[in-house]
């Protein structure tokens, strides 16, 4: 049984040079075209984070850090509008084999934040995600 191994990687970062009151969310995707006639297995899905957001300068408050965790998923898209298959990180166990999907979408999402009353946010965060995809006959 012939197996083709793929790896999709995604790196995204957000760095703001000055203090701001609003930080927009991160929502980035990477794509892999699949052979729908072959079985597809998601072998591993993971995301690493570094940095985060720090809020300060607001009345009566102390500095608050926001989690740098990102939501990471792989969506398998069928050719003819049937149901999508979703897999969520972290996962280090192979998924069941599925057939009929023509596209794999690796997606990384991270929250944004907004402060009022003079509050300011410092931002420096980065995310690296990967997925291993195997296709077999």
Rounded to whole angstroms, how far apart are CA atoms 72 and 90?
8
Q: Which domains does the chain possess?
A: 3-136 (2.60.120)
The dihedral over CA atoms of 29, 34, 39, 41, expressed in degrees to the nearest 10, equals: -30
Q: Residue 51: is it exposed, middle or buried by C-beta count within 10 angstroms (0-12/13-18/19+)?
A: middle
pLDDT tens for 100-118 read 999 999 999 998 888 877 7
Q: What is the pLDDT of residue 7?
A: 97
Q: pLDDT-derived band of residue 21, with 50, 70 and 90 as boundaries?
A: confident
Q: What is the pLDDT of residue 114?
A: 84
pTM for this predicted structure = 0.87
Mean pLDDT rounded to a whole number for the chain: 89
Report the side by side order of strands in the sheet with 120-136.
3-15, 120-136, 39-56, 64-66
Average pLDDT over every residue of 4-8: 96
């Amino acid at each position: 049984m012939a197996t083709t191994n793929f790896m999709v990687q995604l790196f995204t970062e957000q760095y703001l040079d000055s203090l701001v009151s609003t930080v927009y969310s991160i929502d980035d995707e990477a794509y892999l075209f699949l052979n729908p006639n072959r079985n597809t297995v998601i072998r591993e899905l993971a995301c690493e984070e570094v940095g985060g957001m720090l809020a300060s300068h607001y009345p009566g408050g102390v500095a608050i850090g926001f989690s740098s965790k990102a939501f990471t998923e792989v969506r398998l898209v069928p050719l003819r509008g049937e149901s999508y298959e979703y897999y969520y990180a972290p996962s280090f166990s192979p998924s069941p084999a599925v057939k009929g999907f023509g596209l794999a979408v690796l997606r990384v999402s991270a929250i944004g934040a907004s402060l009022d009353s003079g509050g300011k946010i410092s931002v420096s965060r980065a995310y690296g995600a990967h997925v291993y995809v195997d296709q077999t006959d």
